[in-house]
């Protein structure tokens, strides 16, 4: 693949404090204006985006979490769900950016999302839950599918590039069900503060994969687990 349109979107992903963060990025293969600039600037379109993101079948946003007012940043509509500081109920930050070219960027914190009994949680310091990353990717795919079903019901756009990047891993290790392994955490001694893409070259997928992304998520997790262990 000569041209990888995802690469610029993976260089500086949004970060949520000192947590490990996940960026999901998807861009349609067809290079054209997908979202009218007037739509991106309208309150009605932003309200529709929020409705999609809160939908029962999507669950990207949560009704219980405060939102920043939608805003434009150049050719992007940006909507943020505040990261907050209520660690006891979980901190569920979301930053969504939708571009005129159809690109969708979704940043979420992959750690500190679950309820905790105290502010010092060893699990969040030492591990990143594989299940949490899988769930965030699934929600991001569901949102992208719902957004394109709304904007492009006749399926003009059939193929998309996608990739994901984990940043702020620090000394955390990717672990499945870390709560059950709380007495056997192992510190990752590698330097994982830099962004860690799932794929060296972004994946070209069909529109049907947005609705059934299980294989793509499985593939991404395999690459991330290899990278985290230093044997990609």
Q: What is the pLDDT along the chain (232 residues), one digit of tens a residue?
A: 458 999 999 988 999 988 999 999 999 999 999 999 999 999 999 999 999 999 999 999 999 899 999 999 999 999 999 987 766 567 899 999 999 999 999 999 999 887 665 555 566 678 999 999 999 999 999 999 999 999 999 999 999 999 999 999 988 999 998 765 554 555 554 555 678 999 999 999 999 999 999 999 999 999 999 988 775 5
Residue 90 inside a domain? The answer is yes
- Which pLDDT score is estimated for 69? 97
The pLDDT, as a whole number, for residue 17 is: 87
In a domain, 110, yes or no: yes
- CATH value at residue 31: 3.30.160.110
Number of separate domains in the chain: 1
3-class SS shares of the chain: helix, strand, coil, % to 5:
30, 25, 45
pLDDT for 105 equals: 98
Query: What is the pLDDT at residue 177?
Result: 83
Given this model, what pLDDT does residue 1 score?
44
Local structure of 15: helix, strand or coil: coil
Domain assignment of residue 2, yes or no:
no
Q: What integer pLDDT is reported at residue 8 of this predicted model?
A: 92
Q: Which two tokens stand for residue 80?
A: 């943020």
Residue 166: count of CB within 10 angstroms of its CB: 25
Whether residue 1 is contained in a domain is answered as: no
| 3 inside domain | no
Residue 193 lies in a domain: yes
In a domain, 5, yes or no: no
Each residue of 178-187: b (16+ CB within 10 Å) or e? beeeeeebee
Which whole-number Å values give the CA distances from 140 to 22, 55, 180, 205, 211, in the listed order?
10, 12, 27, 15, 11
Residue 31 inside a domain? The answer is yes
> Measuring CA to CA, how many Å separate 231 from each of 10, 172, 203, 223, 227?
21, 16, 21, 9, 6
Q: Where in the sequence is the domain holding 98, given as residue range(s)?
A: 10-228
Give residue 3's pLDDT.
80
Which residues, in sequence order, are CB contacts of 12 under 8 Å at separation 6+?
195
């Amino acid at each position: 693949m000569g041209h990888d349109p995802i690469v610029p979107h993976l260089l500086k992903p949004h970060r949520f404090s000192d947590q490990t963060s996940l960026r999901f990025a998807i861009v349609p293969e067809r290079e054209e204006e997908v979202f009218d600039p007037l739509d991106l600037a309208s309150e009605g379109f932003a309200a529709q985006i929020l409705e999609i993101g809160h939908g029962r079948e999507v669950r990207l946003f949560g009704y219980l979490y405060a939102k920043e007012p939608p805003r434009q940043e150049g050719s992007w509509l940006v909507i943020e769900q505040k990261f907050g500081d209520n660690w006891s109920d979980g901190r569920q930050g979301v930053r969504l950016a939708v571009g005129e070219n159809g690109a969708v960027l979704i940043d979420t914190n992959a750690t500190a999302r679950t309820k905790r009994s105290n502010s010092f949680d060893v699990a969040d310091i030492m591990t990143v839950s594989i299940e949490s990353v899988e769930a965030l990717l699934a929600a991001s795919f569901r949102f992208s599918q719902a957004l394109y079903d709304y904007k492009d019901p006749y399926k003009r756009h059939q193929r998309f590039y996608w990739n994901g990047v984990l940043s702020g891993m620090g000394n955390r290790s990717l672990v499945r069900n870390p709560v059950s392994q709380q007495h056997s955490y192992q510190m990752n001694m590698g330097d994982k503060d830099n962004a860690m893409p799932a794929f060296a070259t972004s994946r070209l997928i069909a529109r049907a994969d947005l609705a059934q992304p299980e294989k793509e998520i499985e593939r991404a997790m395999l690459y991330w687990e290899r990278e985290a262990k230093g044997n990609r």
